Amino acid sequence: MAHIHDSDGSSSSGHQHPKSTAKWAASLENLLEDPEGVKRFREFLKKEFSEENVLFWLACEEFKKTQDKKQMQEKAKEIYMTFLSSKASSQVNVEGQSRLNEKILEEPHPLMFQKLQDQIFNLMKYDSYSRFLKSDLFLKHKRTEEEEEDPPDAQTAAKRASRIYNT
């Protein structure tokens, strides 16, 4: 008895939740809120050689949650050295970059990177995100999801049966 209830519960809940790919396709915000989405997006950006954009965005999100002053200073420096300095290993391309210098690190505050983060967000949104939604990587994930979700209905069962008998 319990077993029937279980399978029932899972199938009905499957219908209430929108598929994650549908959520990702709805907005870049949704995509970035979903760890799985971030993972797929990063895979895609790696192929495009622009993974630093999403990494920078994530680092800024993390940075905004930092309360401790000393930690904030360390993280700010890390973000600067990794993404913003002219010698950065994963330099992001933001306006006003040449004017950025280490002075900004002396007085770190949670929103110090906000403008740059917004720039990168828009860059991703209007550039790589739209390509991501058309990419094989995304579409493959979407197909897999649909195959997992949809219970074989009577029609596909009938089709399968007719295939078997038509050989």
Q: Residue 151 — very low, low, confident or very high, per pLDDT cuts 50/70/90?
A: low
Give the model confidence (pLDDT) of 18-72 as tens digits: 789 999 999 999 999 999 999 999 999 999 999 999 999 999 999 999 999 999 9
Residue 37 and residue 18 in contact, taking contact as beta carbons nearer than 8 Å: no
Let me know if residue 40 belongs to a domain.
Answer: yes
pLDDT of residue 102: 77
Residue 84 within a domain = yes
Asked, for residue 161, whether it belongs to a domain, the answer is no
**Residue 16's pLDDT is what?**
47
The answer to the question of residue 164 being in a domain is: no
The pLDDT value recorded for residue 11 is 39
Q: Is residue 45 part of a domain?
A: yes
Per residue in 99-150, pLDDT tens? Answer: 777 777 888 899 999 999 999 999 999 999 999 999 999 999 999 998 887 6
Q: Output the domain CATH number for residue 106.
A: 1.10.167.10
Is the pLDDT score of 96 beyond 70?
yes
Asked whether the predicted pLDDT for residue 6 surpasses 50, the reply is no
Residue 139 resides in a domain: yes
Question: How does residue 8 score in pLDDT terms, banded at 50, 70 and 90?
Answer: very low
Asked, for residue 158, whether it belongs to a domain, the answer is no
Contacts of 21 (CB under 8 A, 6+ apart): 138, 141, 142, 145
Give the total number of structural domains in the chain: 1
Higher pLDDT, 156 or 109: 109
pTM here is 0.74
Residue 125 within a domain: yes
Which structural domain, as residue segments, surrounds residue 60?
A: 20-145
Report helix, strand and coil shares of the chain as percent, to nearest 5.
75, 0, 25
